Structures are given as structure tokens and as C-alpha cells.
Structure 1
């Protein structure tokens, strides 16, 4: 209230003072002239903007003449009706339909028949069943041979698989039949066949059963088992059982990847090459391979080892092996230049099945033991020269104990035994010898993948061997090389080519018998060879296509093994049909 009262008194006083000031007729203060001197200080408001279009004040300025435009509209009869605008359509490529099954059949020179059938049927979203059948045979006909050189190879495999919520599994089985002839007689010793042509035929046969199991999210990743029975028509037989599994072992927050396997093999041959005594062999190995991966920036290192226990069931001998298992990669320039290296080792299980598939002219008189690959040291560079060109350069050094080498069997002028079918003792078969071999190799490969229509690849490798007891590394080449190419010429036409080069190899053979003068064994150098092949095909429609192939285009008369020449130029034509059930 006091404040309001004071404001009221001040307001009344001011009004009275103003009234008195108006009523004064004369001011007591005289007029004075006051000059204020102050330097000029311009401000922004004093500035003005120059007009873009100046205004002319010239009275003689020419005036723009006014122009009038007239449009004369003339009606024209027309039936044109403008359509509504639409977005332009992009032509889409027709998607390639992939069929689940196919059958292929071809026939050619040397009475060659080549056939394949692949089947795959989806029983449900989680179940599949299928199989594969293959056949390759030839009636033979190589010039200058004294014995039949025909062969046939047939195989059948079937499988069933199922995918469940947390794991998937698969079972499979099949059988194989291979028929060959020991046709490679030494021409220096025989002017006519020492046996009937039909007696040189021998047949390998076998069957296998197996299964695989894979878990999606569990400590045990996967597992597999396989049993194989393999033998021939000379009372030879071999059983092999292999079981493997892999799992992760957690240790202080880290995982150690581990593999474990059991490998059993046992077999027998009715007799030896120069002895009627039966040959038996067998062993079982247990292997454990833990490894740990380290990653830091561009460096990746896998640290591990292999522990193998070997029990020789025939000689009651036990051995324990420790092998390194170390690999490392370092990205020097992203994907362009990657350096890698390592040192590994393993106990390699040899088998009659593997020997017969690599060299079908072996005699049923082999002794089978495992190979001790003490270490394999390697170093290399790999990467990409561009998005379409990749390369790999690598050097290796192997140290192997009891390495298996194919060596020609001796020429036995007086075969032992009472059997009439001992027809592999005339220098026309091969045995296996073992030796400690150190191997140095250097090689490289180049792959060019321009697009889906053109691929090209090169590969080559040089080898140098150092043996312990054998004078040479028998039947191992000093140089190998290969090239392949595939071209999609048009939508309908396609073609391809391949070639491989194998350098010189060495083999040794000796003539033995009670009436043969002792002579040192003869070492033979097998010449290098180059084999070129090509094929062309035409797609009749989405399901049917026809093809033609030519092998050994240069008609090279070379020997893959001692005294075993190969067929000359070969031509084959056929068709492939794709289908669904």
C-alpha cells in the first residue's frame, strides 16, 4: 500500500510541474549557440545498394515498339487419342532352370562306351534320395600288342538324407567292378604271347557302406563312418573301417577344435610274386588332432599337432607318432597379395583299393604298410591380379618314410606253382616298393574367370627327389603341367579343351629264372608326353544337348607305365538329357 501511495504522489507532482511549465511566458535562460565537433563515423544504414537495372532519365530514350501476336486457330479433324503414360519395361533374362537328374551316353572309337546317370528326388522338404551310375569301357585295339587291352569300369552309388531341426544325417552305399588286362609285355623278350589273351584278364570288385551326421549347434560338430570291402578274382581281399568325428573343447573362454579318428585295415593275398606263401597285413590307428586359431589384424595362425597311435595287428608292433600341424596366413595387400606357410605331417594309410585305382595293372601280390609323412613344409603367395584373375605360387619340402613307389615286376621265365593262371609274372604287372624319400617341389597356378562364358586355367609343378635305398623314385615325374578352358560360344553352343604334360619317369626291370644268366637290372627312362583333348556341344533345348569329344588329339604314342602304351587319337559322340520326376 505504501508503494502504491508513493507512485500516486509522484504522478500528481509531475502533472502539476508540466502545467506550470506551459504557463511560463519567459525563460530566464538566454538562447545560446552550441557547436559540437565530432568525427564522422559511418554506419551500415548510411550505405546504399547499386541497382542492377539503372533507371535512365534521358528524355530522348527510344521507346520499345509494341508488338502484337495473333494466332489463327483452324480446326482439324483427327481420330488421335493420347494414351496414358506407362513405365518402360526392362527385358528380364529368362532364369535358368536346373533339373535334378540327368542321363548321358556316348560311343566312340576303340569300341568305347561312356555312360552316366545321376538321380536326385526330394521326398519331402527334409528328405532326399538319389544315386549315381557310371560306366566306361573300351574294346581295345592298340597296334602292336600281343595281348588284349580291353577294359571296363562300372560303379553304382545310392544315398538317403534327412534334415531335422538340430541335425542332419545321410547314409549311402554302393559297389564297383573294374576289369583290366595285363597287356604290357616287354617286346625285347617275347615275340609271341606266353599266355592266352583271356588269361591276362583280372577283375577288381568291392562294395561300401557309410553314413554321416552333422549337428547345427552342439559341441560335437559332425561324425562319419565308412566300411569298404575290396578284392579281386585271385582270392585277394581287404577290409577297411574308418570312423571320424570333430568337436570343440572349451578352455578358459576359448575353443580348441579337435578331430578324432579310428582307421582299421586288414587284408591278404593268396601268394607272393615269387613265393607261394600267403601275404597278410593289418593295422589299426587312432588319431587325435587338436588345433587353436589365433587372429590379429591381417595375421591368422592355426596352432596344432597330430597324435597317432599305430597297432600292427599282424606283427604285434605298436608305435606312437607326433606330427606338427601349423599353418599361417598374412594379408600383405588385402586380397591382392597373401603370404602363407606351414608345416604339417600325418600317418598315411595305404590300401590295396587305392593302389588298384591309381595303377590297375598291379599284381595281387602286394605288401601294404602305412607311409610316415614326417613333415611337409610349405610356403607360398596367393591372391588376385584383378577381379577375374587369381594366382597361387607354392614351394614344398616333404620328408616321407616308407613312401610307396610303383615298380615293374621282374620277368619270370619260369613261373612257380601249379596254377595255369599265373599270368602277371612276365614283366606285365607292377608291384610296390617302399623307401624313405625326400621331395622338393615348386609350382604355381593361374586362373582366369572373365565371366560365366569363359574360364581358363594353368598349372605346373617341378619335382626333385632324394631316395635312401632305391636308386630312383620309380614312376614319379620330374615335371607336370595342365591347362583347361571352357567357353560358352553362344546360347546354344559350348566348347572346351584340356591338356596335360607329364615329364620323364624311370622304372627298372630284371629277368629272373633258373635258366637265366644273372644280369644287372635294366633301368628304363620313360619319355615325357603331352596329351591334348577337346570337346564341343550343342544345346538342342533346355533338356537335350549333344556333344563330341576328341582325346589324344596329337595321336601321341606314349607309355603311361613301362610296356603299357595308351590308345591313340580317340573320338566320341553322344547326348545328355536332363529331367525331373
Structure 2
């Protein structure tokens, strides 16, 4: 009986190939007798079945290529906050062994820089996974008066998931501590300030639990999260944020589905006063595919408790999008109407600009209505071209301006009327068999402000040119060139000649044009051991992204990576 079952399994395995051959081969009569040998050690691997539901792509009728991992995920040192989305040095995770991916890194550099990272994660399992990610980067000296501009960042992330059929239950814990100094002071004074008097320290803690469906063939898909974020600084300010997120959709048929996304947040911000900021937003939409045309029609309803500038608290925005496949797998053009309330928190703001003043006024941005249009194209193999134009009408869009009370610190300032924004985004990415990667990303932002002198510390142009090459899986080299156009900050003239009072007339001053060249290389000595070296700001420019805050000059870092 057992042998008969095994024989049947072998026949079923061979059935797809036999059926394909039979379609082109004429019938030759009766089946001849054959002897079947049973090999118990053999493992029969069935090809992945094609499922009809995977052919239905509501977002766009044509397949959209996944974003290329076009560069090192943490190419540059983040110490000088040149780019709000800064990253830390490490070898690309995708090069690590498939089932382990654990590594330890350590490096040292000039400016008294020390770097360490530990990435530890469980092997792949059908029952669950867990991991740890520890990072540390510090510089005991900086670009201004040595230890007066020292900085450090330390973070620890813990994560875990359990799998029970289609249900995934998970949790994440994030802890962090960052040290910065307010070194943007006037150096033309007899006595320079001491490092301890300039100190700013941020402490962060985050907890998130979530549940989602991992069965891709299920009609109902959901991702539900509940979290808590805590932030504090050296001036006894703190922020607590309890939030929940929902991303869900229900398939009505092969080409139709209903989507409902929602966000809830309650923030308590304590400084010299206590401010409570509730926030609720939901976006229901109906999505359908009509041959080459994909449509999504819905609306976004949002409420925020902010009252700054008497901006409207309850808002309704359209959520309409149309995408048309001009050429299958080659070109998709799209356009839409949108808008939403964008949640703004001190937790996030201080990752963009760590030199904020005490008692800043935080408000959510009302973005919309917006009009956007663009295209995604793959004109050739390994080449991706994307472009998008967005026109938006923003209320309470924040800008960073130097404080009147202390120009080394920054206030959040808002246009008392709406700010019109024109954004033009373009990118070209080329990825040749994971060996050669080239790309260019560029953004133009045109801000039309009414009651502010300038769009303070929001550059109108920024771009990234990057490339990397993998030599025989032994040497990986890369380069990135970042540019930011000059923006504006402010100084303040004394109210009376000779007076130390700096709360007089505002003097608008331009910031530096940022041109930042970075190079790096990773050399694999053996399967689990490699060395790396990188250089940042190799042109040696001040690159003051924020007024009065130059970055370190040429700085280098070298170290070793052990993978296991």
C-alpha cells in the first residue's frame, strides 16, 4: 500500500511536464508497460502554484517593479544632521548568510569617533522570530571648539513575532539616548562657553504590539498596531504618545476591493505648560480595476486638537487616484486628488533638528487638497525611471528659524496663512545583476509663504547621485554625492547700539549650499570576516544645513565586520 502511494506521488509530480509534452505530441496508442523504481530518499519539490488572486493588482493593472536597494542602507555618519534621514555605516544586510544574518561591527575614526553595532536575529522558523539591533556612534570632538561640539547616539531595538497559521502577532521595543551640544554660538567673545553648559540630551522609548494576516489569498487583509512613544530632553520637557494604526482591505472579487485605513493618537506634551493633542483620521476607499485602468475613490476624514493659528480642526479631503497602464510592464501613468492631516511630534522633529529651543509650539500639518500626477517606467531591463509633480495647499507647515531669545536654538514658526507648495520629484535607478548600481534622485520644492520672510531652513532643491560596484564578491565600493541648495535662517540686530539685547530687528541670512561627497569600501577577507573604510565630506566644506552649525570637515572611519 505504501509503495502504491509513493508511486502515485511521483506520477503527480511529473504530471505538469507530461501534460505540457502531450499538448504538442500526437497520440501514439496504448501506454506501454513501465517499471517504476521507488527511491525513498528522494525529495519531490513542486513548483509554486499560480493563483488567480495574485494576478489582480488593484493599485495598478501592470506589475510595478519593487524599489531597488540601490545603495548602502547607512552610508553616512549621522553626527552632523546634514540630512534629516541620516544613516549609520554598515555592510548591506542582503549580503549576509540567508538563514543567520548576524553580525558584529566596530570602527574608529578621526574626531575621536567610535562606532559599534550588533545585529543578532534568530534563524528562519515557522513558529516565530526574534532579534536585537544595537547601535552606538560617538565623537568626542566636533567642528567647533573640540568637545564643545561633541555628539553621540546610542540605540537598542528588540523585536519578536509568533506565527499561528495566518495570524502574526508581534512586538517591538526601541530605546535610545542622544547627546548633542548647542555649538552655534558667537565665537568672537572673550570667554567661550563650557561644554556642559551647551548640553542637550534626548531619551527615547517606544513599544509597539501588532497583529496582521500573512495569508495572501485571504479575502480580508489587515495590519493592526497599538503603540506608545516617550521622549524627553535636558530641559525637563517630555512627550507621551499613545497611538493605534489600522491598514485593511477586503476583496469583493477579482477586480474590486474596499480599503479602510485609520490612525488614532493622543499626545501629552509637558514643558513650561502641559499641552494635550488628540488626533483621529480615517480613509475609506473603493478600488477597482477596469482592464488597463485602476481606480480608487474615497475620502480622508481627520480631526486634530491643535488650535495654533486658528486652523480648522476637522477636515475632509478627497482620496481619488487613477492609474493607466500605457505599456504592459513598461509604463504606468497616474494622477489623483488627495490630502491628509500629517501628525507632527517632538519625537520626530528632534531627529531632524536636535537644536530646538524649549517651549516650541507643535502643530499638525493640514496638507490638502493636493493634486498630483506622474509616471513609473521601466524602459529597459534593470532601469527604472519615476517622476511626480505635486501641488498642495498646506496649513501649519512648520519651518525652523533661529530663536530671538537665543540664536543657537531654533523655534518652530508657521505661516499664518496657507502655504502653497510645488514639488517636482524625479529618479533614475539602474541595477545590473547586483554588481553595478547607479542612480540619481532629485527634488525641487517651491514654497509660497505669505507672512514669513522666507521658507526658513527648507531648501528648494536637493539631490543624491550614487553608485556602487561589487568586484568578484570580494570588494564592494561606493560613492554618494549629496547637494542641498541654500536656504535661510535669521540673526537679530541689537535693539540699541552696544546693547547685548538680541531681540531687535530680524536679519535674514542664507545658509550654506551643501555639497557632500562620501566614499566607502568593504573588503571581504573570508566568508565571515570583512573590513571597511569610509570617508565623509571629502571636499572639506562647512555644509551648514542649519544656520551657525557647520559640520565636521573631512572625516574617516575604518573597522571590521564579523558575520555568523
Q: Please, what TM-score do these two structures have when normalized by structure 1?
A: 0.75
Alignment partner of 1:447: what SS? strand
- Contact 2:219–2:251 at 8 Å: present in 1 too? no
Equivalent residue for 1:563, pick from 542, 548, 560: 548
Equivalent residue for 2:360, pick from 363, 366, 380: 366
* Offset, 1:524: 0.3
Change (3 A) 1:192 1:391: farther
Instruction: Map 1:443-522 onto structure 2 (within 5 A).
Output: 443-511=425-493, 515=499, 516=501, 519-522=504-507
Residues 181-224 of structure 1: CA distance to partner in whole angstroms, max 9, x if unpaired? 0000135xx42446322210110002111111012347461200
* Offset, 1:406: 0.5
Are 1:140 and 2:141 an aligned pair? yes
Paired residue for 2:409?
Answer: 429
Equivalent residue for 2:371, pick from 377, 390, 407: 377
Equivalent residue for 2:201, pick from 180, 203, 215: 203
The answer for unaligned runs of 5 or more in structure 1 is: 1-94, 270-277, 413-424
Structure 2 CA distance for aligned equivalents of residues 359 and 239 of structure 1: 19
Q: Please, what TM-score do these two structures have when normalized by structure 2?
A: 0.77
* Offset, 1:337: 2.4
Alignment partner of 2:397: what SS? strand
Equivalent residue for 2:293, pick from 295, 299, 304: 299
Task: Flag the structure with more relative contact order, 1 or 2, with Cα contacts below 8 A and sequence separation at least 6.
Answer: 2
Instruction: Map 1:119-268 onto structure 2 (within 5 A).
Output: 119-122=120-123, 125-142=126-143, 145=145, 148-187=148-187, 190-193=188-191, 195-215=193-213, 216=215, 217=218, 219=220, 221-248=222-249, 255-268=257-270
The answer for unaligned runs of 5 or more in structure 2 is: 1-94
Structure 2 CA distance for aligned equivalents of residues 235 and 350 of structure 1: 20
Structure 2 CA distance for aligned equivalents of residues 373 and 518 of structure 1: 32
Paired residue for 2:516?
Answer: 531
- Contact 1:280–1:314 at 8 Å: present in 2 too? no
Residues 504-532 of structure 1: CA distance to partner in whole angstroms, max 9, x if unpaired? 10111225679449752111011312101
Paired residue for 1:337?
Answer: 331
* Offset, 1:461: 1.9
- The RMSD of aligned alpha carbons is 2.6
Change (3 A) 1:167 1:148: same
Structure 2 CA distance for aligned equivalents of residues 497 and 138 of structure 1: 23
Structure 2 CA distance for aligned equivalents of residues 562 and 486 of structure 1: 32
Structure 2 CA distance for aligned equivalents of residues 250 and 124 of structure 1: 29
Are 1:440 and 2:419 an aligned pair? no
Paired residue for 2:43?
Answer: none
Structure 2 CA distance for aligned equivalents of residues 110 and 161 of structure 1: 40
Structure 2 CA distance for aligned equivalents of residues 317 and 529 of structure 1: 34
- Contact 1:246–1:259 at 8 Å: present in 2 too? yes
Paired residue for 1:15?
Answer: none
Alignment partner of 1:561: what SS? coil
Residues 394-436 of structure 1: CA distance to partner in whole angstroms, max 9, x if unpaired? 21112110011011112x4xxxxxxxxxxxx3x2111111123
Structure 2 CA distance for aligned equivalents of residues 517 and 290 of structure 1: 51
- Contact 1:444–1:460 at 8 Å: present in 2 too? yes
Alignment partner of 1:576: what SS? strand
Change (3 A) 1:450 1:182: same
Q: Which moved more, 1:538-547 or 1:374-383?
A: 374-383
Paired residue for 1:9?
Answer: none
Aligned residues: 460
Paired residue for 1:44?
Answer: none
- Contact 1:458–1:482 at 8 Å: present in 2 too? yes
- Contact 1:553–1:569 at 8 Å: present in 2 too? yes
